[in-house]
Chains A and B, each alone.
Chain A
Amino acid sequence: MTTFDKDDSSVIVVIGTGAGGGTLCNELAQKGIRVVGLEAGAQQSMNSYVNDEWKSFGQLAWLDKRTTSGSWRVAKDFAGLPAWICKTVGGTTTHWAGASLRLKDYEFRAKTEYGDIDGANLLDWPITLSELEPYYSRAEYKMGVTRTHGIPGLPGNNNFKIMYEGAKKLGYRNCHTGRMSVNSRARQGRTKCLQLGFCFQGCKTGAKWSTLYTEIPAAEATGNFELRTQSHVSRIEHDSSGKVNAVVYFDADGNEQRQQARAVCVAGNSIETPRLLQMSDSSLYPDGLANSSGQVGRNYMRHMTGSVFAAFEDPVHFYRGTTMAGIITDEARNDTRRGFVGGYELETLALGLPFMAAFINPGSWGEEFGYFMDNYTRLAGMWLVGEDMPRESNRITLNTDETDQYGMPVPNVHYDDHDNDIAMRNHAYQQGEQVYEAAGAVRTIRTPPFPSTHNLGTCRMSEDRSKGVCNGWGQTHDVSNLFISDGSQFTTGGAENPTLTIVTLAIRQADYIARQMLTDAL
């Protein structure tokens, strides 16, 4: 395995190995660029993943201390767990469901399309769909997205059959088993999906795309990449000119290490990324790195989410098979006659018995809870995911009253639902219920949002440097050799699951970094 000297200032340091970081490491290494990847979590594998919800959660989830505030229900139900994301090699591509949707053209122009919305900090992206399309295509090929590049769709499971029947009866026209980064047939050395039903627990067959067993080994095979696991970054340093030049981290033994760098790419997911920039304050950057706009940590988005579960007379066994291979896309459009701007998707979702108990309606008890658990084998379920409004006051800040295992301030995640989010959620609940009622549901339940899996926007792209943190390449406005390489870049959230776009932006960013290096701009 390749190793680089910690004093080697020619390497690019990538922080995080998930959808953004893991992809970027490989894309850079393939071009002959030397990369050190720092991953806070430990290495797991298809073999070590477990088909057990709580055990897997303990193995993969990011459980470092975090705090919450704001009026969102997650702060009440899961005060110490605002986000359900991962601390392991491969990041949250271990846990993701595989739904791989392109953002829509209008979603890149949210401010123009939606107009001024009170209490929202909308902005158009500095890039367009047409600029991204060739990169989307590359990402879809890399990830093996079904219904693209001639790859067939997945076979629908029982949960999908119910969604399809309800959608058809309700008059929806676009319902299918989705565009999924889950193999419908063997491809590129990975098996087809065996319908385990444990997509969220790390795919034990590798049918679901994860950087863990695709991008990262491919990067290692180039000889240009060194992965350092259990390396928890605490600070990014800069030289007197203001350019970043080193990354400080705690290794597996808790010892502080310092890796010099030619450039630094931050991909720690949208809570850790702005936290790290804020913790890297200095006399030159008193408000944190790349924060002259004051926007670092702000505009935190987490998608409008919610779920509908429904009980039927007859058996369903919805936990069998690919968790999210089912989608209705008819509501993913901007049609203000519905009482809100932006759109949402309805996607199949199933939980195992332990997580059903934990999430169906956190904190609830009594007859309703008992009824849905008693009918566990007769349940169908769907997740509702739509565009939420960016708000300056929804933000990640350093909570100096609490420290983590390294003595660093923990991140506080503040979120208040915007009225638009609430109107959209209520509409989605109602449509979801109608889908199931049309398919013959006996009883339905509205499940509140889970801890956030789609964390976005806290270092957003902007044309105007006073309104965001980075440009259309993810390069920070203030520091030319510092890049944002994860979902934090998103100017707005769109309605779609974000991973495909994160991977797409990483491929494109790698091309940009390579060009900058050729011209010695970097």
Chain B
Amino acid sequence: MNKNIFKLQEANDLLADIRSSIPLTRREFLQGSAVLTGTLALGTSLAMVSPSRVWAAQMSVLDDKQARMLLRLTQVIFPHKDMPEAINALAVKDLDKSAEDKAIAESFREGLAALDANASGDWLGASADEQLKAVESITDTGLFAAVKGQCITSLYDNELAYKHFGYEGESFSKGGYLQRGFNDLSWLPDPPYVASPAPR
């Protein structure tokens, strides 16, 4: 599974796909199948930089329940404080794309059915604790491996995630950090000159 994150040709394709899905536009409603939608919370770092607070992600293979279960699954496997669901939706969109492969789609169906079976038939409706327990019982499934592997790139290698987690990304065009805070930490004393000379 982890090998997947090093198949760079694929990772690059994936990046292109993620980027092309942002911003999420109205044209995406035109096709059939499931659509995940949401609204960015006011005042968050993402809402401030997004052209629109409303987002939508069109699926091509997954049905509505599958898409919603997968979205929740990405949140249970990689829990984050206050992370906008729009970022998780990027991962679901990538999973939807991989489900165009029939064998993968079948493994998703089996894994999601196992989740429901382990949560009294309604995993989405279960409590957070029950949801986590059900996920712990399916860690040997293809679904779990696929979601975990996909999320490593889908959740953390995109502009929305950079903004959310506070990573500033590309720096060359801004002249690096020499004048932009590479040594701005002020809650500890500065090391002596001999250990850390002043910038020239």
Contact = CB atoms under 8 A, between A and B. Distances in A.
Question: A and B, one complex?
Answer: yes
B2 A77 contact: yes
Contacts of A317: 166, 168, 181, 184-185
A152 B197 contact: yes
A353 B156 contact: yes
A357 B162 CA distance: 12
A315 B78 CA distance: 22
Interface in A159-198: 160-162, 164-165, 175-177, 184-185, 192-198
A115 interface: no
Contact of A58 (B11, B177, B185): B11
Contact of A81 (B3, B177, B183, B194): B3
B83 to A, nearest CB: 8
A4 B185 CA distance: 55
Contacts of A155: 182-183, 196-200
Interface stretch (B24-32, B110-118, B147-155): B147-155
Interface string B157-200: 10001100111111110011110111111011111001111111
A78 interface: yes
A197 B77 contact: no
Nearest to A354: B157
A75 B55 CA distance: 40
B188 A162 contact: yes
Given A155-B196, A195-B178, A439-B188, A356 B172 contact: no
A78 B149 CA distance: 12
Contacts of A51: 169-172
B84 to A, nearest CB: 13
Contacts of B168: 317, 319-320
A204 interface: yes
Interface residues of B, number: 53
B177 A54 contact: no
Contacts of B155: 357
A285 interface: no
Contacts of A373: 78, 80, 156, 165
Interface residues of A, number: 66
B152 A196 contact: no
B8 interface: yes
A356 B161 CA distance: 12
Given A155-B183, A357-B155, A197 B197 contact: no
B51 interface: no
Nearest to A77: B2
Contact of A161 (B3, B77, B181, B185): B185
A80 B178 contact: no
A317 B182 CA distance: 8
Contact of B15 (A54, A160, A184, A370): A54
A300 interface: no
B183 A198 contact: no
A79 interface: yes
A507 to B, nearest CB: 28
Contacts of B5: 358
Nearest to B82: A374
B12 interface: yes
Contacts of A205: 172, 176
Given A195-B176, A314-B187, A353-B162, A177 B197 contact: yes
A378 to B, nearest CB: 9
A474 B120 CA distance: 68
A63 interface: yes
Contact of A376 (B11, B12, B166, B196): B166
Contact of B182 (A52, A152, A175, A321): A321
Given A156-B191, A376-B166, A197 B185 contact: no
Contacts, number: 185
A385 B91 CA distance: 35
Interface stretch (A23-31, A360-368, A404-412): A360-368
A362 B80 CA distance: 18
Contacts of B78: 365-366, 369-370, 373
A267 B99 CA distance: 44
A72 interface: no
Nearest to B165: A376
Interface in B1-17: 1-3, 5-6, 8-9, 11-12, 15
A502 B111 CA distance: 51
Given A154-B197, A363-B2, A197 B188 contact: no
Interface in A183-234: 184-185, 192-198, 204-205
Contacts of B6: 57, 63, 78, 80-81
A57 B14 CA distance: 14
A55 B195 CA distance: 34
Contacts of B194: 176
A185 B200 contact: yes
Given A156-B196, A194-B176, 11 more contacts: A50-B170, A152-B200, A164-B196, A177-B195, A315-B185, A317-B168, A320-B180, A352-B167, A365-B78, A370-B78, A370-B81
The list of the 9 closest CB pairs from A to B, nearest first, reads: A156-B196, A194-B176, A321-B182, A58-B8, A357-B156, A353-B167, A158-B185, A320-B177, A51-B170
11 contacts: A50-B170, A54-B153, A58-B11, A63-B8, A153-B195, A184-B197, A194-B178, A317-B181, A317-B184, A363-B2, A374-B80
